[in-house]
Amino acid sequence: MVERVRFLVVGGGSTGTAIAYYLSNEVGRDVVLLEANRIGSGQTGYSTAIIRLHYSTPEVARMALTSYRVFERFEELVGGSCGFRRVGFVLAVPERLRAGLERNVSMLRSLGVETWTISPDEVKDLIPQADVDGIAAAAYEPGSGFAEPTETALSFAKAAAGNGARIVEGVRVTKVVVEGNEASRVVTERGEYAPETLVLATGVWTQRIASTFGRDVPMKVLREEIGVFARPEDFRGEHPVFADLGLDFYMRPHGDAETYVGSIEPPPTAIASPDEGGRPVSRETFLSYHERISRRFPAFERSPHLVRGWTGLYDVTPDWHPVICRDPEVRNLIWAFGLSGHGFKLAPAIGMAVRDLALGRRPEFFDPDHFSIDRFSRGRPITTTYGTGVVS
Ligand SMILES: Cc1cc2nc3c(=O)[nH]c(=O)nc-3n(C[C@H](O)[C@H](O)[C@H](O)COP(=O)(O)OP(=O)(O)OC[C@H]3O[C@@H](n4cnc5c(N)ncnc54)[C@H](O)[C@@H]3O)c2cc1C
């Protein structure tokens, strides 16, 4: 039997659950979300979930700011918890990136973001354990921090269900049938759906699903490893989130005594299968992260211990920016993928934008063409201050 559905969302990560929530705020029970495993079990579950506002383009900065305002008052606005912790965010750059950083900060301030440029000495005031050698300047955001990614997706899903949406876990889409210019049927392991509008929020698995209807998406899957390091006794308590474009690493606290460490730009050769997430961290990565964090925070030299770690995957587009658009060929298909390793913090705004696209409205934050799937083939990628990488 084929079930007719008005809005069918595939994927129950932070992206798909936020979309289901914002859509169901308006159309309630007309939303069905299908998730192959469990809510938040995809890359959302491996995320370090940093929430910051520093971006190079007003479009993404506006999305980050709108999302931030949701994370700040999540319980009141959405319901449930997102685990947001406001520890502050410092982005440190070498001399060659100073002018770009200052330009970004003034663009962000013009949008109402609470951020300013600080000197290396001020970095040291914020994190006394830092050796600021090689830092020319930094951007500081006192209100930023990190959240709990799986909890956030679960809360969005619960709130969507509270609006009447149906959240179906453990059901994998095996095929999308496109007839003419329409996605007419979505085949799953347990039955078929005929959606009026189909939203694909399937992250690193998007090429797999797109192949079932003969499409190639502009995205590759890159491996990003996260190491969890123990901090020595004189470096305890929650430190600000710290990103270092000179030494290419970022770190965020996990409780009082541990720090998550990742790279800002994973090696472009680290191409992975979408099913590889969760593997342990390699010894080379551990050594390389330890060397970099010890240069910036020498206290780590006395703590060469990797407590644990995991491999996450990024769905990376050629310009490290998402695809959020109606498909130019299939009239009832909307894409939301290619979050490129920085999409957790944007989930609320993506949810709102896809709601608008699905309801035939113009998204609030960007021109409908801005995140189009064909911007690469048209030679119009998004350009940013720092080039590629998660901080762009
Ligand atoms: C290691 C790591 C660190 C990160 N750090 C940050 C950070 O600090 N800040 C930040 O903002 N972002 C960060 N990100 C990125 C962010 O976590 C992701 O962009 C975001 O969570 C992606 O969510 P998603 O819903 O698009 O994808 P996923 O969470 O992967 O969700 C996709 C879902 O689709 C489901 N699915 C796939 N195929 C099918 C199918 N055929 N049928 C049914 N269901 C299907 C999957 O099971 C999965 O649950 C990080 C990512 C990683 C991996």
Q: Count CB neighbours of 248 within 10 A.
A: 15
For residue 279, give the H/E element and its range.
none
- Answer yes or no: is pLDDT of 145 > 70: yes
Higher pLDDT, 48 or 390: 48
Q: What is the 8-class DSSP label of residue 11?
A: -
Tell whether ligand 1 has an atom less than 6 A from the beta carbon of residue 296. no
- Answer yes or no: is pLDDT of 102 > 80: yes
Tell whether ligand 1 has an atom less than 6 A from the beta carbon of residue 37. yes
**Dist CA 77 CA 68 (whole Å):** 12
What domains does the chain contain, in order, with CATH numbers? 1-84+143-219+317-392 (3.50.50.60), 89-142 (no CATH), 222-315 (3.30.9.10)
What are the strands, taking DSSP E only, across the chain?
A: 2-10, 31-35, 50-51, 89-93, 116-118, 137-141, 145-146, 166-169, 173-179, 182-188, 191-200, 220-230, 241-244, 249-254, 258-262, 306-316, 323-326, 333-337
What letters, b where the CB count within 10 A reaches 16 and e where it falls short, cover 324-333?
bbbbeebebb
What's the whole-number average pLDDT of the chain?
A: 95
How far from chain centre, in Å, is Cα 312?
12
Q: What is the 8-class DSSP label of residue 298?
A: G
Q: Count CB neighbours of 51 within 10 A.
A: 25
Contacts of 294 (CB under 8 A, 6+ apart): 300, 301
- Answer yes or no: is pLDDT of 184 > 70: yes
Q: pLDDT tens digits, residue range 305-360?
A: 778 899 999 999 999 999 999 999 999 999 999 999 999 999 999 999 999 999 99
Q: What is the pLDDT of residue 307?
A: 82
What letters, b where the CB count within 10 A reaches 16 and e where it falls short, cover 8-30?
bbbbbbbbbbbbbbbbbbebeeb
Contact indicator for 198, 176 with CB cutoff of 8 Å? yes
Tell whether ligand 1 has an atom less than 6 A from the beta carbon of residue 35. yes
Range of weakest confidence among 110-114, 191-195, 298-302: 298-302
Contact indicator for 131, 91 with CB cutoff of 8 Å? no
SS3 71: helix
Tell whether ligand 1 has an atom less than 6 A from the beta carbon of residue 316. no
Q: pLDDT tens digits, residue range 15-43?
A: 999 999 999 999 999 999 999 999 999 99
Average pLDDT on 197-215 reads 98
Tell whether ligand 1 has an atom less than 6 A from the beta carbon of residue 241. no
Q: What is the pLDDT of residue 290?
A: 95
Residue nearest to atom 41 of ligand 1 (CA): 173
The candidate with the shortest Cα–Cα distance to 239, out of 224, 251, 247, 248, is: 251
Q: What is the pLDDT of residue 389?
A: 67
Tell whether ligand 1 has an atom less than 6 A from the beta carbon of residue 46. yes
What percent of the chain stands above pLDDT 70? Answer: 99
Residue nearest to atom 13 of ligand 1 (CA): 342
- Answer yes or no: is pLDDT of 303 > 90: no
- Answer yes or no: is pLDDT of 81 > 90: yes
Q: Using pLDDT thresholds of 50, 70 and 90, give the confidence band for residue 293.
A: very high
Tell whether ligand 1 has an atom less than 6 A from the beta carbon of residue 263. no
Tell whether ligand 1 has an atom less than 6 A from the beta carbon of residue 145. no
Higher pLDDT, 7 or 389: 7
What percent of the chain stands above pLDDT 90? Answer: 89
What's the Cα-to-Cα distance from 14 to each of 4, 87, 244, 345, 385, rounded to whole Å? 25, 22, 26, 9, 27
Q: What is the pLDDT of residue 383?
A: 84
- Answer yes or no: is pLDDT of 97 > 70: yes
Q: Which atom of ligand 1 is nearest to the CA of 343?
A: 19
Ligand 1 centre to CA of 338 (Å) is 9
The candidate with the shortest Cα–Cα distance to 366, out of 383, 377, 354, 358, is: 354
**Dist CA 161 CA 29 (whole Å):** 8
Ligand 1 centre to CA of 347 (Å) is 10
Q: What is the pLDDT of residue 268?
A: 72
Ligand 1 centre to CA of 383 (Å) is 23
**Dist CA 160 CA 137 (whole Å):** 43
- Answer yes or no: is pLDDT of 162 > 80: yes
Contact indicator for 375, 358 with CB cutoff of 8 Å? no
What DSSP string runs through 83-129? --B---EEEEE-GGGHHHHHHHHHHHHHTT---EEE-HHHHHHH-TT
Higher pLDDT, 243 or 303: 243
Place of tokens 């020319």: 136
**Residue type, position 223, single letter:** R
Q: What is the pLDDT of residue 391?
A: 74
Tell whether ligand 1 has an atom less than 6 A from the beta carbon of residue 22. no
Q: What is the pLDDT of residue 56?
A: 92
Tell whether ligand 1 has an atom less than 6 A from the beta carbon of residue 14. yes
Q: Count CB neighbours of 207 within 10 A.
A: 18
How far from chain centre, in Å, is Cα 82?
14
pTM, rounded to two decimals: 0.97
